[in-house]
Amino acid sequence: MVPDIFHREFTPSPYWWEAYTPTAGDLVEVPKSARVAIVGGGYAGLSTALELARHRIDAVVLEANELGSGASTRNGGAVSGGVNVGKSFTGRTFEIEPGRAEQMLSDASDAFALIDRLISEEEIDCFWEKHGRFVGAWAKKHFAAQAQRLAMLNAAAQSGAYMVPRERQREEIASDYYFGGMVVERSGKLHPALYYKGLLEACRRRGVAVCAKAAVERIERASAEWRVETRRGNVSAGDVVIATNGYTGNLTPALKRRVVPLASHIIATEELPEDLARSLIPKERTLSDTKRVLCYYRMSPDGKRMVFGGRARFTQVDPTVSAPILHRYMTERFPQLRGVKVTHAWTGNVAFTLDALPHMGESDGLHYCLGCNGSGVAMMTYLGWQTARKIARAVNYACSFDTSDFPDHLLYSGNPWFLPVVGSYYRLRDSLDRLLV
Ligand SMILES: Cc1cc2nc3c(=O)[nH]c(=O)nc-3n(C[C@H](O)[C@H](O)[C@H](O)COP(=O)(O)OP(=O)(O)OC[C@H]3O[C@@H](n4cnc5c(N)ncnc54)[C@H](O)[C@@H]3O)c2cc1C
């Protein structure tokens, strides 16, 4: 029987959209030409355009749907400075060769600094708070594995990370669910849709043409320029940036083969009694865990609701399917939330890569920034910024995520038909890990 978890005002759309709903607005005409055409109007696309504008390079952002309809207004709003770099959707943390791992963590740490600076410089009102993150150890052996990563995180990403044993876990979370965990002080949270809105306004203030409902259908070389064909007219551009992440499609088949689109799902609860709400996450951190099929959660910006996400399924499913699963995960961690109703449930796509690393670079002459691997609020903003600086020739060092090595696989053509099977398999592995402590 389906449990009665739905509030009478339940809506299958993001809680965040109550503050900013993706809209096409007054349609901006697609210009005939621009120095740079950017495909995709999420954080990565807007951040690219914003930095280009600062270098006085005119850019057009071409978005297929309403502005912000992708993951950038749907996410959990947890912002990290590198703790997830190299973690694949199988939960495995990839071994990155010595030297390169430190550089990547250092760049991820710069991504955190960039978002902090952008929010302040552009005066973006998005409930930006730097209260840190707690990553709960799902199994006993995970605690030891976390402890092993501490030194590198602190040295390369200045994470301010430290371990919290199980006996002191209640300082972090009103639950005994985990086997202790790791605090990462240099982490924060924001309202993802308001951050998006702020970036959009910053672009508009600088005269960037941000065109909604302008799906790019074809890109071809026409002598020295690119001809970019959209549903609402064509643009000729000197450079093209692909910023389509979990929505990368047949427009760029070579890139589609390099990213695996994976669904992530979130619920928001009704407003909780004040004392209960305040007790759940006493230090106002964001939380996630070391499960392969992980959960991530936080309180809403007003501190009144639990916003709880996870990979209830690896594919897009109706919120009426994902919400009961997430509700169960939530009450396993917080039995005190049994009986609490869900007011919102939604889903969106992230993009995983085959080496679990974010990537920027060039493919057949097209620039791209792709592959958030589930953690892209800071990272995709950063890759857009780096791509813009590269186009503007304003970089004095190569970003460690900018490599020609963007792996594909002989057996993967861009159709992730295998995800439901993989999801079930890793959920089973998670259960075994927990049992065999
Ligand atoms: C449910 C969920 C929870 C998440 N939680 C977190 C979190 O807590 N912390 C975190 O750091 N990250 C999180 N993420 C990831 C984060 O949201 C993404 O990494 C980030 O938003 C990606 O930004 P983007 O600009 O690269 O892509 P998107 O915002 O997805 O934008 C890509 C855009 O490209 C457009 N597009 C595709 N094809 C075309 C075309 N042919 N023409 C024109 N436009 C096109 C799409 O319409 C889409 O709007 C979460 C994601 C989801 C879905």
CA of 381 to the centre of ligand 1 (A): 11
What are the tokens at 13? Answer: 């759309």
Kindly tell me if the per-residue pLDDT of 116 is higher than 90: yes
> What DSSP line would sit under 300-311, residue for residue?
-TTSSSEEEEE-
pLDDT band at residue 197 using 50, 70 and 90 as cut-offs: very high
CA 72 to chain centre: 7
Task: Specify the pTM.
Answer: 0.96
pLDDT band at residue 226 using 50, 70 and 90 as cut-offs: very high
Helix (H, G, I), strand (E, B) or coil at 65: coil
Residues 6+ apart with CB under 8 A from 428: none
Residue type (1 letter), 59: A
Which residue in the block uniquely carries the two structure tokens 């057009």? 60
Q: What number is the average pLDDT over the span 134-157?
A: 91
Q: Is the CB of 211 under 6 A from ligand 1?
A: no
d(CA 258, CA 361): 13
Q: Is the CB of 30 under 6 A from ligand 1?
A: no
CA of 73 to the centre of ligand 1 (A): 8
Which tens digit of pLDDT belongs to each residue from 232-254?
999 999 999 999 999 999 999 99
Nearest Cα residue to 48 out of 245, 292, 230, 291 = 245
**Residue among 43, 67, 75 to mutate when testing ligand 1 (max atoms within 8 A of CB):** 75
Q: What number is the average pLDDT over the span 178-197?
A: 97
Kindly tell me if the per-residue pLDDT of 125 is higher than 60: yes
What is the model's pLDDT at position 3?
63
Q: Is the CB of 61 under 6 A from ligand 1?
A: no
Strands 78-80 and 133-136, by their bridges, are unpaired
Q: Is the CB of 358 under 6 A from ligand 1?
A: no
CA of 144 to the centre of ligand 1 (A): 33
Kindly tell me if the per-residue pLDDT of 1 is higher than 70: no
d(CA 276, CA 43): 34
Higher pLDDT, 411 or 117: 117
pLDDT band at residue 86 using 50, 70 and 90 as cut-offs: low
State which ligand 1 atom lies nearest to the alpha carbon of 217: 41
CA of 242 to the centre of ligand 1 (A): 12
Which tens digit of pLDDT belongs to each residue from 340-380?
999 999 999 999 999 989 999 999 999 999 999 999 999 99
Extended beta strands in 54-137, E state: 59-62, 78-80, 133-136
pLDDT band at residue 433 using 50, 70 and 90 as cut-offs: confident
Cα-based distances in Å from 434 to 138, 139, 179, 427, 429: 7, 5, 10, 11, 9
Share of the chain above pLDDT 90, in %: 76
Residues 6+ apart with CB under 8 A from 297: 76, 286, 287, 288, 306, 307, 308, 309, 330, 333
Angle at which helices 43-54 and 192-205 cross, to 10°? 30
Which residue in the block uniquely carries the two structure tokens 């990565």? 44
